[in-house]
Structure 1
């Protein structure tokens, strides 16, 4: 299992469009991909789970990847988030 903290910097946080982009990227990998925010956690492959986390601009999340392609998945998800999730 690998993990990394990342700050969500896009202006609207993880609302519907960025949540969809995050999920689409996560679904490219076989690994289990989740993230932790505050006291809860979310399945990064589920739009409803990501939306339910209510992550806002400036919030820090910790992404966890576990599986055969975990390192590549983590690297690419962090890059997508750092690039603003399409915003």
Structure 2
């Protein structure tokens, strides 16, 4: 298992469009992908409803956790996408 903390840069946090993009990226990989918020909420990064349920605000730090065969590639892709603003 690998993990890394990353700060959400989107001005409006993880609303529907960036949450959908995050899920799209996570679903490209076979490993389990979750993230944890500062208030200990665990979200399945492959589920839009789970990501939206985390209510992640702009500037909040989340810890992305990947566990499985392609975990290193998945973590690198997700972290770079989040740092780039998830398309916004």
TM-score band w.r.t. shorter chain: over 0.9
Structure 2: stretches of 5+ with no match in the other structure: none
Alignment of 1:1-80 (within 5 A): 1-37=1-37, 38-80=39-81
> What is the TM-score with the length of structure 2 in the denominator?
0.98
Q: Deviations over 1:50-74 (max 9, x none)?
A: 0000001000000000000000000
Give RMSD over aligned pairs: 0.4
Aligned length: 87
Structure-2 separation of matches of 1:56 and 1:65? 22
Structure-1 separation of matches of 2:17 and 2:33? 19
> What is the TM-score with the length of structure 1 in the denominator?
0.99
Q: Deviations over 1:25-81 (max 9, x none)?
A: 000000000000022100000000000000010000000000000000000000000
Give the ranges of 4+ consecutive aligned residues of structure 1 lying more than 6 Å apart after TM superposition: none
